[in-house]
Amino acid sequence: MAPLADDKKPIKEAKHVTIDVGDGAAIPKREDVGLFTAWRVAFFGAIAIIVYLAVFRPDPYLAIMKFVPDGILVTFEVTVLSIILALVIGLFTGLGRIAKNPLINGIASLYVEVIRGIPLLVQLFYIYFALGRLIQMPPLPSAVLAMGICYGAYMGEIFRAGIQSIPKGQTEAARSLGMTQSQSMYHVILPQAFKTILPPVGNEFVALLKDSSLVSILAVADLLRRGREFAAESFNYFETYTVVALVYLIITLFLSKLISIMEEKISAG
């Protein structure tokens, strides 16, 4: 029963609201007119600037654009491999976080707390330089491993939340049909959870792509590294980093729009 004020009239309790703010790109939605308009202005504006600079100021902008495409491919390679590794780690971490076994639950929880408490840049240095004294790995695998481990902790929490969002009646119904705990999880719970977690996973994908610029410190020839190489040779620092920033902006805005379309289709379905 709701509490009564001095005039004995019932007071409406405040509705619980969840604030969901991620570290990825802002996802443009049609109902958010301001953000949707800003997305269109930023995306098409960045493309227009790139085209203008390439046509009317080919020296040095066109030369920069011809120099960095292989870095874009490396950036996507690092991002895709890291997100795949993070998904695998995140799945097992999420299952561990909801496990009834105290040892498994404790290990998964400790992993999440430790990894999320250490900056990604420190993890990159630690895996490549510190652990490199024990196990020497090339820069690219080291970068993928560090980013996969880092984002695996965040993915673990996404998987945990997605699994726990499925009503317990689903598990009980599966068990009543004779399924084991693992079978009900694999055939009933996880397929439904995957649809729930797709939007936040997509958001983490965009965030990981932006954070992939950090791998340039390990001599991985990504977009930022190639830009740094061109700037060091030509001393056109302003022009080079302008192009790099615009390319990152176009990629992240494009991916954020794809995530928005995916969310709309999931909601409609």
Q: What kind and span of H or E run contains 70?
A: helix 69-97
Residue holding tokens 């598990």? 171
* Alpha helix segments (H runs only) across 132-236: 139-164, 168-176, 181-184, 190-211, 223-234
**Domain spanning 74-245: CATH superfamily:** MetI-like (1.10.3720.10)
202 touches 26 (CB < 8 A): no
Can you give the pLDDT at residue 26?
64
Query: Model confidence over 23-33: pLDDT tens digits?
Result: 556 666 666 66
Q: What pLDDT does residue 16 have?
A: 44
Of 205, 193, 212, the closest CA to residue 154 belongs to: 205
For position 187, what pLDDT does the model report?
79
Q: What share of the chain is helix, strand, coil (3-state, %, to 5)?
A: 80, 0, 20
Take residue 235 and report the two structure tokens written for it.
């001393």
Asked if residues 141 and 96 have their Cβ atoms less than 8 Å apart, the reply is no
pLDDT tens-place string over residues 149-199: 999 999 999 999 988 888 888 877 877 887 887 788 877 888 888 888 888
Could you give the maximum distance between any two Cα atoms of the chain, in Å? 78
Looking at residue 240, its amino acid is T
pLDDT score, position 189: 83
Closest CA to 200 of 120, 109, 145, 266: 266
Provide the CA 36 distance to its chain's centre, in angstroms.
20
User: What's the confidence (pLDDT) of residue 166?
Assistant: 84
Q: Rounded distance, CA 203 to CA 29, Å? A: 14
Number of H helices, E strands in the chain: 11, 0
Low-confidence ranges of the chain (pLDDT < 50): 1-19
User: What's the predicted TM-score (pTM) here?
Assistant: 0.83
Which single residue is written with the structure tokens 């301001």?
34
For residue 191, cis peptide bond before it (omega within 30 degrees of 0): no
Task: Say which residues have a Cβ less than 8 Å from residue 251's Cβ, sequence separation at least 6.
Answer: 72, 209
Nearest to 199 by CA among 149, 266, 143: 266
Average pLDDT, the chain: 85
Residue 17 CB burial class (10 angstroms; 0-12, 13-18, ≥19): exposed
